[in-house]
Structure 1
Amino acid sequence: MKCSAESRPAAVPASDAATPVVSAFYDRFPYPADPLQDGPPPGYNWRWCLDSVWAFTTGALPPSPPGGRPWRILDAGCGTGVSTDYLCHLNPGSSVLAVDISAGALAVARERTLRSGAADQVAELRIEQRSLLDLAGEGPFDYINSVGVLHHLREPAAGLQALAALLRPGGLLHLFLYADGGRWEIHRVQRSLARLAVGAGDEGLRLGRQLFRDLPETNRLRRHHEQRWALDTAADPNFADMYLHPQETSYDLERLMAFVARADLSFAGFSNPEVWDPARLLGGALLERALALPERQRWALVEDLDPDISHFEFFLSSGALHRQDWRDDASLLAAAGTRNRCLWGWPSTSLLGQDLMPLTISPDALTLMQGLEAAPPGTALGALPLDWSAPRRLAAARELLAARVLLPLGSEAA
């Protein structure tokens, strides 16, 4: 294991026009403000687990890296290291590079990963003060995580193109960008505070909080903040990040897709697909009509109907991804696999699933998954020593696939 936290000089090139002011902002307000703790981070986030991500986007586990090398992961804009911590603990044996432009945020990231033992989980962990635009010579990376970063660049398109250049063919990129629709109240508050010239320091923080106290209780901006964002912005850095940030861009769905297309990347799916399901908003004949729409139009419909969507989170790929089809019985019975590590309460028929929601599986599904775990690696589902008929075995396997408990090994990986 190798851990390097100070292998780059402190001076960061101003590769983006907003870099100096954004760096200074996060030095004052290191973000996110998640508390430090001793030991691994709590729970899991499947979007930071490569096995879960590949199974979600392709239907199967990824092929092992060539030559036995470790997975190469980039955390581009790691902030205080919350994502870096999870990336290390959920991807043991990997090589992780975490970069950020803020020295203040990185000081917290180094302390966080030191106390959690993150570096002990991976082959290499580097935490460096660098811009994501200045990573020539690094990579190529199998997986890049960049959550809440590109929208703070003056030129987000240049940032996405820089990340695309660092991604290996077939690699995946996870992004989180602001959405116009669910931030219109936030934008009004931001504009108001800017007109009042409160600044982006401690005085701005004090006056920003005072604004919500002074507005009438019936004021829509105050009610929206208190009902939706008060808990998320209880910590000062989180409040400042939402209302005082000196540089941000947000998107609607049409501009988002154009933004992705300019970087010559393929859209590989939203990482919160339940948000984009019209069934959560419609029923009956209207839902039937919605489901008959082309995919992009279904998303646009949801965007129009739900004004609370405040961000887009999604995967992009370098090149088109092959999606494994498990409808063929013989292919499924011949498949090996592993259990999703992003579960809570295993082994049991009552779990918290990949999205930390209650999940119930049948006794047959539990038995099949436990049999696969006990078998030698690479054992096919059809070869497990169970005195079951093929239909019974297939029914349990498909239940596990639908619940994202079983992550199968695809034909390409095999």
Structure 2
Amino acid sequence: MDHPLEAPLDAATPVVSAFYDRFPYPGDPLQDGPPPGYNWRWCVDSVVAAVDGALPPEPRPWRILDAGCGTGVSTDYLCHLNPGAAVLAVDISAGALAVARERTARSGAAAQVAELRIEQRSLLDLAGEGPFDYINSVGVLHHLDQPEEGLRALVPLLRPGGLLHLFLYADGGRWEIHRTQRALALMGVGTGPAGLRLGRELFATLPESNRLRRHHEQRWALDTAADANFADMYLHPQETSYDLERLFRFVDQPGIHFAGFSNPEVWDPARLLQGELLERARALSPRQQWALVESLDPDISHFEFFLRRQDGGGAPETLSSTVPQAWSDEALLAAGGERNRCLWGWPSTALLGPDLRPLTITAEELALMEALEASPAGTPIGALPLAQGPAERAAAARRLREERVLLLLRA
């Protein structure tokens, strides 16, 4: 059931809603059957294991909110990657929601979950919903007139300990995009079909050596092949972006703490440095390392990260308290586990891992995982019917956990 948006709480809502009615986003094609592949950030089991190091032992069909679902790409994955969940997807654009409903109907998303609701509502007006275990709000808050109000609206919808996944634009990697946006605005091309036509014409007209044209053709041409995606990037009427310092000021709100980037490999100095320079970088605090990476890599175009709602009372948790701790052999052997659903090519020793990169496991590691899947849920790894000795299976379980093939269950 849709809710009328006659009195939007955010000043940008009518303009943004009309924009997405013209250009329903994202412009991914519709298809019959489940969505292709996976994105582990939309599989709540995989997220919780990544943030906490293990899954809770209690039963968990998750309660999930897709806050700003657009044309339903994220909603579709959230349903197929979280069987049995209860999913609420909301967006302010009727045009985008029409596509979302068709997408999820054609994919069979509703059959995968206990409940799927797709409603025309503002994320600022969801009082009475929840509490949710997981809120996905990717590429949404930065289109509000006051993004901090969006964050303040979402946090109370989380259960204590629940996780919020956000994606916000970064200044550095959008330098060329911002200049293109300003140029098109100065020429008054508008945010409709004329703006789309003239925006594409701009890149065809600029000299081949022009930095804006080169940047678009080399980095964004494929991503913006769909008209809706081009419009979202270059014609959007309301947008905010951040640097790292402003980002952490933005998330510094009562009741939540930063629980880590959802693309941590991007923020690892080893991606850019080696030798003594890397040693010096490793000696820095995590925040300093991230600031270093931000300085060294001007192509970072967005921040994607998790926030956790704190339990009531007590001092805010530090980042170090959210980093999964090492597991002893004894703890590994006493733990149960599950296979990560975000693997391509299972069962095999040659896989694509959760980040869609090639991953090779050994025959012994494959045997451990197959024994785990064939055993009753919660069976300790040390009790699996395998010829492997305790040290051998603990080593296999440790590597499988590090590669995120194995999701451990806390005892």
- Name the TM tier (shorter chain): over 0.9
Corresponding residue to 2:67 among 66, 76, 80:
76
CA distance in 2 between partners of 1:293 and 1:207 (Å): 47
CA distance in 1 between partners of 2:242 and 2:325 (Å): 33
CA-CA distance at 1:322 after TM superposition: 6.0
CA contact (8 A) 1:39 1:115 kept: yes
CA contact (8 A) 2:133 2:163 kept: yes
Deviation string 1:144-180 (CA, Å, 9 cap, x unpaired) is 0000000000000000010001111000000000000
CA distance in 1 between partners of 2:324 and 2:210 (Å): 51
Deviation string 1:155-212 (CA, Å, 9 cap, x unpaired) is 0000001000111100000000000000010000001111111100001111111111
For residue 269 of structure 1, give the secondary structure of its aligned residue in structure 2: strand
Structure 2 counterparts to residues 393-408 of structure 1, below 5 A? 393-408=393-408
2:48 counterpart of 1:54: yes
**Partner residue of 1:26?**
20
**Partner residue of 2:352?**
352
For residue 186 of structure 1, give the secondary structure of its aligned residue in structure 2: helix
CA distance in 1 between partners of 2:223 and 2:388 (Å): 50
For residue 139 of structure 1, give the secondary structure of its aligned residue in structure 2: coil
CA contact (8 A) 1:198 1:204 kept: yes
Structure 1 pair 371–63 and aligned structure 2 pair: CA distance change class (3 A): closer
CA distance in 2 between partners of 1:111 and 1:343 (Å): 27
CA distance in 2 between partners of 1:125 and 1:134 (Å): 19
CA-CA distance at 1:399 after TM superposition: 1.2
Letter in 2 for 1:348: S
CA distance in 1 between partners of 2:293 and 2:67 (Å): 30
**Partner residue of 1:100?**
91
**Partner residue of 1:370?**
370
Letter in 1 for 2:397: A
CA contact (8 A) 2:5 2:122 kept: no
Structure 1 pair 75–239 and aligned structure 2 pair: CA distance change class (3 A): same
CA distance in 2 between partners of 1:74 and 1:203 (Å): 35
**Partner residue of 2:382?**
382
CA-CA distance at 1:12 after TM superposition: 4.9
CA-CA distance at 1:387 after TM superposition: 2.4
Structure 1 pair 174–151 and aligned structure 2 pair: CA distance change class (3 A): same
CA contact (8 A) 2:22 2:95 kept: yes
CA distance in 2 between partners of 1:172 and 1:61 (Å): 13
Structure 2 counterparts to residues 260-339 of structure 1, below 5 A? 260-319=251-310, 320=317, 325-339=325-339
Letter in 2 for 1:359: L
Letter in 1 for 2:400: L
Structure 2 counterparts to residues 248-263 of structure 1, below 5 A? 248-263=239-254
CA-CA distance at 1:310 after TM superposition: 0.1
2:84 counterpart of 1:90: no
Deviation string 1:334-393 (CA, Å, 9 cap, x unpaired) is 000100010011111100000010000111111111111111111100011122221111
Letter in 2 for 1:187: H
For residue 16 of structure 2, give the secondary structure of its aligned residue in structure 1: helix
**Partner residue of 2:212?**
221
Letter in 1 for 2:352: L
Deviation string 1:70-113 (CA, Å, 9 cap, x unpaired) is 42100000000000000001111111000000000000000000
Deviation string 1:302-331 (CA, Å, 9 cap, x unpaired) is 000000000000011001576653432211
Task: Return 111-120 or 381-390, whichever deviates more.
Answer: 381-390
CA distance in 2 between partners of 1:285 and 1:12 (Å): 60
| Total equivalences in the alignment | 402
The unaligned stretches of length 5 or more in structure 2 are 311-316
Letter in 2 for 1:401: R
For residue 159 of structure 2, give the secondary structure of its aligned residue in structure 1: strand
**Partner residue of 2:135?**
144
CA distance in 2 between partners of 1:353 and 1:74 (Å): 26
For residue 250 of structure 1, give the secondary structure of its aligned residue in structure 2: coil
Give me the identity figure in percent: 75
CA contact (8 A) 2:84 2:112 kept: yes
**Partner residue of 1:361?**
361
CA distance in 2 between partners of 1:362 and 1:75 (Å): 37
Structure 1 pair 388–359 and aligned structure 2 pair: CA distance change class (3 A): same
Letter in 2 for 1:403: E
Letter in 1 for 2:247: L
CA-CA distance at 1:61 after TM superposition: 1.1
CA distance in 2 between partners of 1:216 and 1:32 (Å): 29
2:11 counterpart of 1:17: yes
CA contact (8 A) 1:12 1:130 kept: no
**Partner residue of 2:314?**
none
CA distance in 2 between partners of 1:62 and 1:151 (Å): 32
Structure 1 pair 323–209 and aligned structure 2 pair: CA distance change class (3 A): closer
**Partner residue of 2:170?**
179
Letter in 1 for 2:261: F
For residue 379 of structure 1, give the secondary structure of its aligned residue in structure 2: coil
Corresponding residue to 1:196 among 172, 187, 196:
187
